[in-house]
Amino acid sequence: GTPTRDDLSSMNPNYLEFKFPLIKSHPWTKVFRSRTSAEATDWIGKLLQYNPKSRPTGLQSCMHPLFDPLREQGATICGSKPLP
């Protein structure tokens, strides 16, 4: 959707007067295919915040439940290659 005035200020305070067209936001579940997991759509939604301070840090992203399978003993890449 259209960024709020606070979002604009957090991204670049020099463009507060820029007028964006009003666009209604769509839920990520409608943007991505139905086979996209709830964890993936949650993680993407957190990453794609207008306000940089609202986005997760790299470490917070690594701790997201989407990546839980990578922390399991014997986890593999593409179903066959072991993790480094």
Q: By C-alpha distance, which of 18, 19, 21, 44 is closest to 33? A: 44
Cα radius of gyration rounded to whole Å, the chain:
17
- CA pair distance 16, 44, nearest whole angstrom: 26
- CA pair distance 36, 30, nearest whole angstrom: 10
> Residue 23 contacts by C-beta under 8 Å, 6 or more apart in sequence?
1, 2
Please tell me the predicted confidence (pLDDT) of residue 6: 86
Confidence of residue 84 (pLDDT cuts 50, 70, 90): confident
Please tell me the predicted confidence (pLDDT) of residue 57: 96
pLDDT digits (tens, 9 = 90+) for 6-16: 888 888 888 77
pLDDT digits (tens, 9 = 90+) for 38-77: 999 999 999 999 999 999 999 999 999 999 998 998 888 8
